[in-house]
Structure 1
């Protein structure tokens, strides 16, 4: 009988990829908030994570052997506009999950973000001091620190910008890009915002590796530092989209609720040394295109 892995945020982009990858090694239980989505071979439970009483009952009933907490309100602009709502999800729920994992003494992985940094001293390693400039980044820092206080065995995985194929109920940042170009419209992308993007599949494999091999903080960025504009050009080339429609712009050209750091590239050499092997962006996009053509 395989051990039980509980995944929060199973209906989201990262959670969906986690369910796909984890089911070969684990008996997977996925918590979904608003959507009761069927994922093949996965036990999906519909639950509002802010209902701590129901969450505690679920832990007692399932008795998971490990947990990956991927649920979040991850839109920085939403968090900036609605800090109290997003705090409840990003911080309050995370601290309660740390308490429940501590009671069972099980491995607990928390998915944090590269946006805990201000973008002025990249690339960032795990030992660099955090310095968020948005409410979303602040909330993730509070969750990191609070979870480690309540349950020091928590594994904090800081995730980069993620992309990939998605089910009907989720999206990554590339789907709107693809749709815009397919419609023959211009797409403006930042030339002054740098990340270390990684595919959802590679990110999921990295999280499962972290679950089994490490403690403390781990960066799971990709191997390349790219601007959104550079990423868009590679994407258009691989997916045969009209790259001439991609125009360059600066962060300052777009009015946004949440401030955005210029460069939060992650130094993920610690994870690479553990065996984390994310595909290069071009390779990952080629694989996604191949899978889509098979459908």
Structure 2
């Protein structure tokens, strides 16, 4: 009989993909906040990370053998303007999950973010001092620290920019990009914001690897440092779209509630040494043709 894996945030973009990648190996329970995304073979349960007594009761009822904690308020601009909600979900809810895992001594994986760094001194290693510039990054850092204090065996996976297929209830930045292209709209993309993107499928495989092999911090970035503009050019090439629709712009040209770091390049050598092997962004986009 397969062991039970609890995936929080299973209806989200990454969670939906993770459930499908993990299904051959685990009996999966997935939580959702408001709208479940049906995945054959996955048992779905509603969970409110702000209701800690109810969350503890749910965990006790399911009795998972491992937890991958993805659920979060993950839009930096929203978190910046809703600080208490962000703190309750992203910090307190995460720490409650670590408390449970510590009590029953099961593997725990937490998805953090490259946004715990300020973008001024890349490439960032697991030992690089964090210095978030947004409230979202600050709360993810507090969750990292709080979870490790409660359960040092937690795997803290700092995730890069991710793209891939949409779930029935969520999507990545790729979908709005493609929609604008297909509607003939101009796509303004930052030439001065750098990330190391990976597909959701690659990220999911990295999380399952971390579940088996990591305690403490690990970076699950890709192998290429790309600006948003360079990503858009690759996307246009792979999906046979007009590059003339892409225009370059600077971060300072687009006012946003949450400050944005300039260069969040991560050194993921530790993960590569464990067997994490992201394909090129172009190859990952080619795999998505016909699916997005």
Cα contact 2:37–2:168 (8 A) shared by 1: no
Segments of structure 1 that go 5 or more residues without pairing to the other structure are: none
Aligned-partner SS, 2:85 = helix
**Partner of 1:91 in structure 2?**
91
Pairing 1:66-105 to 2, within 5 Å after superposition: 66-105=66-105
TM-score after normalising by structure 2: 0.98
Q: Deviations over 1:221-277 (max 9, x none)?
A: 001000000000000110111111000000000000000000011100100000001
Deviation beyond 4 Å, 4+ runs, structure 1: none
d(CA) in 1 for partners of 2:236, 2:51: 43
* Structure 2: stretches of 5+ with no match in the other structure: none
* Counterparts of 2:53 and 2:84, CA distance in 1: 20
| Structure-2 separation of matches of 1:10 and 1:66 | 14
Equivalences, count: 292
- 1:180-219 alignment to 2 at 5 Å? 180-219=180-219
Instruction: Find the residue that maps to 2:103 and give its secondary structure.
Output: helix
Q: 1:163 aligns to what?
A: 163
Inter-partner Cα distance in structure 2 for 1:213 and 1:24: 19
Q: How does 1:255-274 map to 2 (within 5 A)?
A: 255-274=255-274
What are the superposed Cα offsets for residues 186-227 of structure 1, whole Å, 9 maximum, x if unpaired? 000000000000000000000000000111100000010000
CA distance, structure 2, for counterparts of residue 259 and residue 158 of structure 1: 19
Q: Distance in 2 between matches of 1:8 and 1:279?
A: 26
Q: Distance in 1 between matches of 2:36 and 2:283?
A: 33
After TM superposition, give the deviation of residue 41 of structure 1 in Å.
1.1
1:222 lines up with 2:222 in the alignment: yes
Provide the secondary structure at the position in 2 that maps to 1:209: helix
**Residue 22 (structure 2) aligns with:** 22
Structure 1 residue 56: Cα displacement: 1.4
Query: By how many angstroms is 1:290 displaced?
Result: 4.6
Do the aligned partners of 2:16 and 2:37 also contact (CA within 8 Å) in 1?
Answer: no
Q: Structure 1 length normalisation: TM-score? A: 0.97
Q: Is the 8 A contact 2:49 2:88 kept in 1?
A: no
Find the aligned partners of 1:183 and 1:144 in 2 and give their Cα distance.
41
